[in-house]
């Protein structure tokens, strides 16, 4: 696999942040035999080595859960499938209003969207996590959101055929 193929395949694993895959490739530290685990390790290392501002941009690249982009049909394929798998595309008006309120409050408080790896979770579990995490301090929530981004990347990689 050459650089172009690597970036084409793995550039979108971290939402709208191909620079992470670029840095991993350019360091030349990827093993010859790629699998989900070692690609995730390489990409996550670059994410963690990035400045706080760069990581914040990655967090901000994620869409709100059940938010405007979902309603407008403008999510990435991965995000759309992940949110649909959790039932976020089938919310009642009351549930949608609750997500909208939490998205607004969370974004105002932290400056980035609420991020959670939704695979295997239902809308009630997601709402529960949302309602608990909104009370975190910004440093705690920044770290939590970064860990969730890495979980999402791992799940996306595991879904790929190697």
pLDDT for 73-130, tens place per residue? 666 777 777 777 778 788 888 988 998 999 999 999 999 999 999 889 988 999 999 9
| Apex 119 CA angle, 104 and 124, nearest 5 | 55
pTM of the entire structure? 0.89
Q: Are residues 76 and 144 in the same domain?
A: yes
Task: Print the domain residue range for 144.
Answer: 59-158
Confidence check: pLDDT of 135 > 80:
yes
Neighbours of 155 (CB within 10 A): 18
- Distance, CA of 127 to CA of 139 (rounded, Å): 21
Q: Are residues 72 and 29 in the same domain?
A: no
Q: Are residues 46 and 69 in the same domain?
A: no
Q: Which of 16, 62, 128, 135 is catalytic?
A: 62
Q: Are residues 77 and 147 in the same domain?
A: yes
Q: Are residues 153 and 96 in the same domain?
A: yes
62 is catalytic: yes
Q: Are residues 65 and 145 in the same domain?
A: yes
Cα atoms in the 13 Å half-sphere on the side-chain side of 34: 20
Cβ atoms 66, 86 nearer than 8 A: no
């Amino acid at each position: 696999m050459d650089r172009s193929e690597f970036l084409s395949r793995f550039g979108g694993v971290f939402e709208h942040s191909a620079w992470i895959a670029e840095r991993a490739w350019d360091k030349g530290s990827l093993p010859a035999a790629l699998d989900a685990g070692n690609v995730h390790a390489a990409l996550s290392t670059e994410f963690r080595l990035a400045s706080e501002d760069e990581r914040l941009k990655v967090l901000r690249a994620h869409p709100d859960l059940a938010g405007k982009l979902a309603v407008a049909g403008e999510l990435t394929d991965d995000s759309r499938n992940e949110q649909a798998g959790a039932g976020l595309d089938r919310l009642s008006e009351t549930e949608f209003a609750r997500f909208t309120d939490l998205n607004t409050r969370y974004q105002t408080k932290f400056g980035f969207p609420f991020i959670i790896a939704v695979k295997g979770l239902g809308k009630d579990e997601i709402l529960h996590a949302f309602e608990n995490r909104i009370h975190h301090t910004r440093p705690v929530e920044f770290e939590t959101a970064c860990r969730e981004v890495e979980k999402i990347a791992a799940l996306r990689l595991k879904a790929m055929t190697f």
